[in-house]
């Protein structure tokens, strides 16, 4: 949906996706196509997709930006928001190769879900052969819900692992991710040439 949420972290921020991002979305998703549904193949088709997305309630799509460099580094979404049950799913997660925004973009999407939308539980579903992303969620302290679930991927049913983060666990996960995000931000600052040039 067309929203106006901006979330700022230590080195990265989330801002709403807009029409100018269409070509960026196509290029970034094509680069990571193995684990993402095949989406629109051209900027024009992506624009048409975005027009439908802008009308869809409970769906929040963000661009991940590096704060200092002011560059787009990735995409992330919170969708299927059910405000009656207080639940949502997050995904459509992809970063430029070499980006160090993984921890902080995950942290910010959780912050959005729990602190801005006051949800009670967030889940994510990852294809069962996307081992590194499954390991990421495990290491953040999320629980697996049990046996693999089946999800539709490019029109076929594929096994996936579902992780959940209930609100009660959020403060603990937040502390952990925030500590890491701070550390990553300071290591980025160390490599940023103008960081050492002060007036």
Ligand X SMILES: CC(C)(COP(=O)(O)OP(=O)(O)OC[C@H]1O[C@@H](n2cnc3c(N)ncnc32)[C@H](O)[C@@H]1OP(=O)(O)O)[C@@H](O)C(=O)NCCC(=O)NCCS
Contacts of 83 (CB under 8 A, 6+ apart): 58, 117, 119
Q: Looking at the chain, how many residues does it have?
A: 199
Contacts of 48 (CB under 8 A, 6+ apart): 40
Give yes or no for a contact between 177 and 146, defined as CB atoms under 8 angstroms apart. Answer: no
Nearer to ligand X, 38 or 139 (CB): 139
Contacts of 18 (CB under 8 A, 6+ apart): 50
Nearer to ligand X, 120 or 141 (CB): 141
Nearer to ligand X, 36 or 165 (CB): 36
Element (H, E) at 105: helix 102-111
Gap between the Cα atoms of 16 and 1, Å rounded:
9
For the bound state, the minimum distance from the C-beta of residue 36 to ligand X, rounded and expressed in Å, comes to 5
Nearer to ligand X, 132 or 194 (CB): 132
Query: For binding to ligand X (CB under 6 A), which residues are involved?
Result: 32, 35-36, 91, 93-95, 102-103, 126, 130, 132-133, 136, 139-140, 180
For the bound state, the minimum distance from the C-beta of residue 32 to ligand X, rounded and expressed in Å, comes to 3
Q: DSSP secondary structure string, 49-86?
A: HHHHHHH-TT-EEEEEEETTTTEEEEEEEEEEEETTTT
For the bound state, the minimum distance from the C-beta of residue 18 to ligand X, rounded and expressed in Å, comes to 21
Nearer to ligand X, 83 or 139 (CB): 139
For the bound state, the minimum distance from the C-beta of residue 37 to ligand X, rounded and expressed in Å, comes to 9
For the bound state, the minimum distance from the C-beta of residue 84 to ligand X, rounded and expressed in Å, comes to 25
């Amino acid at each position: 949906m067309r929203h106006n949420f901006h979330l700022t972290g230590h080195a990265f921020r989330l801002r709403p996706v807009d029409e100018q991002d269409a070509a960026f979305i196509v290029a970034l998703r094509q680069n990571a196509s193995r684990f993402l549904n095949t989406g629109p193949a051209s900027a024009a088709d992506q624009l048409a997709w975005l027009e439908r997305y802008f009308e869809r309630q409970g769906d929040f799509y963000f661009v991940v930006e590096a704060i200092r460099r002011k560059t787009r580094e990735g995409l992330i979404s919170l969708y299927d928001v059910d405000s009656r049950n207080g639940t949502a799913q997050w995904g459509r997660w992809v970063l430029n190769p070499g980006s160090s925004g993984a921890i902080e973009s995950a942290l910010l999407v959780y912050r959005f879900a729990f602190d801005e939308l006051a949800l009670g539980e967030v889940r994510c579903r990852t294809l069962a052969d996307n081992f590194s992303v499954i390991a990421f969620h495990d290491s953040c302290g999320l629980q697996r819900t049990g046996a693999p679930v089946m999800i539709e991927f490019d029109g076929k049913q594929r096994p996936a692992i579902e992780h959940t983060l209930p609100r009660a666990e959020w403060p603990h996960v937040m502390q952990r991710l925030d500590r890491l995000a701070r550390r990553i931000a300071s290591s980025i600052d160390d490599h940023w040439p103008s960081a050492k040039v002060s007036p």
